[in-house]
Copies of this chain bind each other. A is one copy, B any other.
Amino acid sequence: MSFAELWAELLPLGRDERTGGYRRYAWTEADAACRRWFVRTASRLGLATECDRNGNLWAWWGSPDGRAAVVTGSHLDSVPDGGGYDGPLGVVSAFAAIGQLRTQGFRPARPIAVAAFTEEEGARFGVACLGSRLLTGAIDASTARQLRDRDGVSLAEAMRVAGRDPGLLGADDELLASLGACVELHIEQGSLLAGLGAPVGVAAGIWPHGRWRLDFAGRADHAGTTRLPDRRDPMLPFAATVLAARAAAEQHGALVTVGKVVAEPGAANAISAVVHAWLDARAPDDATLAAAVAGVWAVAQQEAARHEVQANRVQESVTPAVSFDAELLARISAVLAGTGQPVPVLATGAGHDAGVLAGRLPATMLFVRNPTGVSHSPAEHAEPADCEAGVAALAAVLADLAGQ
C-alpha cells in the first residue's frame, strides 16, 4: 500500500461537507471511523494492534517484549474544521514507511510501533495531548474522567458510549518501559521549511505553552433601555483583553491568541451575562510565557473592575519547554544527511505527543514542509512530493533506530 492509497482512504472520514474541514473529535463516530481504518490498515500490513488503557491505538511490528521499541505515528483527531494533515500525516507516513521497509526486506532488530494518540488537540475535552498525558501520568486519571465537553458529557461517559472502560485510565509504566525512542512525523505548522527550501526538518524542541479560560461575569440587561452607567457588560473587558493579548505577544516576542469565545445568553438585544474566553499562549522560554500571560491578566482584571464585572481565570493546561534528546537529534540528522537535501533543525510553538513522551524517553520529531504555513484550517496543505520525502526520511530513520 502506497502513501497515496492510504491517504485517499482516510481523507473522507470526518470531513464536513460545507467547510471542507475535519471534525474528528475523540470518541465520536468520526473518531471511531478513523480507528477502524487504523486497525484495518495495520492488519493488512501484518501488524498486531492493541488499544491501551487510555484509548491510544498501537500497531506493532514485532512484539512489545522489552527490546526498547521505536515508536512513530501521531494522532487522528482534529481541531474544529481543521486540516487533513495535522496528525494523520504522521500516522499514514508511519504505515507507508513500514510498508517500504517490508518491501525492501528490512527485518527490525527491535520492535517498531505505530501509535495514534487520543484527543491530541483537546478539541472535545479541553486538554491537549490527553492520551499521551494519561499514558505518562502527566494528568491524573480521576481528573481526566471528569473533563466535560461542551454538551456536558464527561470523558468517562463518552468512553463508555464508545465501548471503553474509563476505570482503566491512568499511567501505563509497563507500556512505557517497553519503548526506547519516539520519532513523530508531523506537518510543519509554519513556513520555516518553505523559506529554507527544505522538504523535511527535525525538531529541536517545543516552546512552553498553556491555555487559560477567562470568565467575565457581568449582568444580563436589555440592550435598548439600560443606561451606560447602570451596565455591567462583560463584553467590554473581554474585548480589552483580546487587544491586550496581541500587545503582550508583540512586547514579549511570544504568541498569544484568543480563538474561542462564548457569550451568554448571546442575544443581539441583550447585554451579556457572562463571556467565556480562552487564552492560548506560547513563548520561547518559561519566564517569557509567564510574563506575557501575567500582562494580559492584569489588563483583564483592571478592565473588569472598571466595568463592575467579575473576572476569573482557570489554567486548563501548561506545558513547560521541551528540549528534544540531543543524541537522538544528532543521530537522525546524520542519517538524513545522506538524502542530499538540507535538513534544518527547528523549534516549534505547537504542542505534540512526542513532547509529552520526551519526559520519559528519548524523543524528537520530523517536520514536513507546509508551503503556506497554514494549519488548523481546511486550507492546510502539503505537496505530495514532500509527503513522499517525509515517508522516505521516516523509513531511513526507523531502519537506523530499529536496525541494531
- The one of B228, B230, B242 that contacts A236, using a Cβ cutoff of 8 Å: B242
CB of A121 within 8 A of chain B?
yes
Centre residue among A207, A270, A348 by max chain B CB count within 10 A = A270
CB of A233 within 8 A of chain B?
yes
CB of A176 within 8 A of chain B?
no
Q: Are A349 and B224 in contact (CB under 8 A)?
A: yes
Measured between beta carbons, the chain B residues less than 8 angstroms from A19 are 265
CB of A400 within 8 A of chain B?
no
CB of A128 within 8 A of chain B?
yes
Please, how many angstroms separate the alpha-carbon atoms of A349 and B260 in the complex? 31
Measured between beta carbons, the chain B residues less than 8 angstroms from A44 are none
Q: Are B79 and A348 in contact (CB under 8 A)?
A: no
Q: Are A259 and B269 in contact (CB under 8 A)?
A: yes
Please, how many angstroms separate the alpha-carbon atoms of A189 and B225 in the complex? 6
Looking at A51-59, A104-112, A357-365, A368-376, the stretch in contact with chain B turns out to be A368-376
CB of A261 within 8 A of chain B?
yes
Please, how many angstroms separate the alpha-carbon atoms of A349 and B223 in the complex? 9
Measured between beta carbons, the chain B residues less than 8 angstroms from A207 are 224
Which residues of A, 210-245, contact B by the 8 Å Cβ criterion? 211, 219-228, 230, 233, 235-236, 238-240, 242-243
Query: How far is the CB of A7 from the nearest CB of chain B, in Å?
Result: 21
Q: Are B236 and A243 in contact (CB under 8 A)?
A: yes
Contact size range, A: 35 or more
Please, how many angstroms separate the alpha-carbon atoms of A250 and B264 in the complex? 24
Q: Are A269 and B376 in contact (CB under 8 A)?
A: yes
With contacts A222-B350, A243-B239, A377-B273 known, is A260 near B268, CB below 8 A?
yes
With contacts A79-B267, A269-B122 known, is A376 near B221, CB below 8 A?
yes
CB of A266 within 8 A of chain B?
yes
Q: Are A266 and B260 in contact (CB under 8 A)?
A: yes
Q: Are A220 and B270 in contact (CB under 8 A)?
A: no
Mark A1-31 against chain B: 1 for CB-CB distance below 8 A, else 0. Answer: 0000000000000000001010000000000
CB of A190 within 8 A of chain B?
yes
With contacts A211-B268, A230-B191 known, is A377 near B221, CB below 8 A?
yes
Q: Are B255 and A189 in contact (CB under 8 A)?
A: no
Q: Are B261 and A263 in contact (CB under 8 A)?
A: yes
Measured between beta carbons, the chain B residues less than 8 angstroms from A260 are 263, 266-268
- The one of B220, B246, B250 that contacts A376, using a Cβ cutoff of 8 Å: B220
> Oligomeric state, in number of copies?
2
Q: Are B81 and A224 in contact (CB under 8 A)?
A: no
Measured between beta carbons, the chain B residues less than 8 angstroms from A268 are 122, 126, 211, 259-260, 278, 280, 316
Measured between beta carbons, the chain B residues less than 8 angstroms from A250 are 228
Query: Closest chain B residue to A246 by CB distance?
Result: B236
With contacts A350-B222, A377-B221 known, is A265 near B21, CB below 8 A?
yes
CB of A130 within 8 A of chain B?
no
CB of A80 within 8 A of chain B?
yes
With contacts A223-B255, A349-B225 known, is A123 near B374, CB below 8 A?
no
30 A-B contact pairs sorted by A residue (CB < 8 Å): A21-B265, A80-B265, A81-B273, A122-B269, A123-B267, A189-B222, A189-B225, A190-B225, A191-B230, A209-B224, A219-B377, A220-B374, A220-B376, A221-B375, A223-B280, A224-B255, A224-B348, A225-B373, A226-B375, A230-B373, A233-B246, A235-B259, A235-B261, A236-B243, A239-B239, A239-B243, A259-B272, A260-B267, A261-B261, A265-B376
Top 6 closest pairs, chain A to chain B, by CB: A220-B377, A239-B242, A268-B278, A189-B225, A270-B376, A223-B257
Beyond A225-B350, A261-B261, A273-B377, list 5 extra A-B contacts (CB 8 Å). Answer: A80-B265, A189-B222, A227-B255, A239-B243, A259-B267
